[in-house]
Amino acid sequence: MKSLGILLVIVAGLAPAQEPEQTVQSSIADSASSGWVTSYGGHVAAEARWFTTPALDSRQSDFAPSFVLAPQLKLANKEYGVAFNAIPFGRFDFQDERRTHADLREFNLSARFDDSDILVGVGKVFWGATEFVHWVDVINQTDLIEDLDGKSKLGQPMVNYNYFSDFGQFSFFVLPGFRERTFAGPNGRLRMHPRIMANRAVYESAAGQEHVDFAMRWSKTFGDLDVGLSWFRGTTREPTYRLGKDGAETVLLPYYELISQIGLDATWTIGDLLIKSEVMQRSGQGNESFFRAAGGFEYTFHAVAGTQTDVGVIGEFLYDSSGNNEINPFENDIAFGFRFAFNDIHDTTLLTTAITDPDDGATFFNLESTMRLSGHWLIAAKGRAFAGVPSNDFPLNGLRRDHYVQIGLEYHF
């Protein structure tokens, strides 16, 4: 993209003057004399998904192995208040060629001043408070081929300026370069029916991916209450769909409209009780503006039954005034779950949740668990299942047979 290239030029222009590459490598190695501190890490993983039910499409497989490489590098100079951060990500999937992809999650230069900072490059920004949905989180695009929960995000080209004061933090964003949502290919599971052709996207703006978006956010902590108020104007990260053809096959084409959105998120901590809420209003997507709200709680019981285990009880209500539609299936749903922290030598955790629609009984079950095998090795397990999904419940109807179990072995360095 032209915009990404422009941003990288800006990053290079803001960076401190450096000697040729050989000298730079020496200064990294000798961080004490140069003032630069280098930190690196990341992980590699081998993962496999087993689907328990035959797919809707004969091109899809019941077994999907893949490999992940996700290194991280950070260079920081406290004397000048400058830092460079790089987090590339890559996955190779043996079943779905669309899921084989690479991305720069972060690749940016930041500088700190007395009461402000600025970041230029590719970054990740999270807004939100609730457990099950993040409706005010509109900066980064969802990497949907990574996971259904919407927590995996693509890196976003940006210029981000933050001002810190007694009245709160004021954040301003210029976002030059739109990232399209990722979707599974013809052979991939966890995809819609008809399938979505991500490479044939349609835009409301004539500028397409080169449209420049803008956003602002104010946030402040009032004792035990954290509040954020945000505004966004630009290309929606949640596409609607238009019918198209791929040969004789009917497919869906993502349609990205221009939207305006105002959001409010808040968390209130009262001892072991955490109250969470998100509210947003959006216009420009569809014929009428709509309103979404999510709110609930998480209460943690410590040392349950005399053990070392902490148990968190989670409950939330999800509401969307636009109803059950192609961009959001959770229009009037109840979400609940339990979070277990066993506090053992393996740092074992378990999260089990469900989202159910009281109107038609459609339910989405989720289970996630991690256990550390040693200082570097980690095993992660995940399970997803769908129950009672009616045939007219798009987009969940395309997933109604995609129950699966996933096992991953990770090495962290």
pLDDT for residue 34: 65
pLDDT for residue 20: 35
Assign residue 199 a region: left if phi > 0, alpha if psi is -120 to 50, beta otherwise? alpha
DSSP symbol at 266:
E
pLDDT for residue 390: 83
Contact 287, 274 (CB under 8 A): no
Main-chain phi, psi angles of 283, to 5 degrees: -130, 155
3-state helix, strand, coil in the chain (%, to 5): 10, 55, 35
Contact 61, 189 (CB under 8 A): yes
Cα(157)–Cα(160) distance, integer angstroms: 10
* Single-letter code of the amino acid located at 300: T
pLDDT for residue 2: 43
pLDDT for residue 9: 35
Contact 160, 173 (CB under 8 A): yes
Torsion (CA) 387, 391, 395, 401 in degrees, nearest 10: 50
Sketch out the chain's domains with CATH numbers.
2-17+37-412 (2.40.160.10)
Contact 314, 298 (CB under 8 A): yes
CA end-to-end span of the chain: 32
Assign residue 370 a region: left if phi > 0, alpha if psi is -120 to 50, beta otherwise? beta
* Cis bond before residue 65 (omega within 30° of 0): no
Contact 105, 91 (CB under 8 A): no
Element (H, E) at 90: strand 82-93
Contact 189, 402 (CB under 8 A): yes
Cα(348)–Cα(378) distance, integer angstroms: 10
Cα(127)–Cα(152) distance, integer angstroms: 14
Beta strand 202-203 with 168-176: parallel, antiparallel or unpaired?
A: unpaired
User: Would you call 157 exposed, middle or buried from its count of C-beta atoms within 10 A (0-12, 13-18, 19+)?
Assistant: buried
Strands, E assignment, 185-238: 202-203, 212-222, 225-235
Q: What is the mean pLDDT of each run of 10 residues along the chain (413 residues)?
A: 40 36 37 77 98 94 97 95 97 96 98 97 97 96 94 97 98 97 94 92 97 98 98 97 94 97 98 98 92 97 97 97 82 96 97 94 95 96 93 81 97 96
Cα(266)–Cα(276) distance, integer angstroms: 6
3-state class of 58 per DSSP?
coil
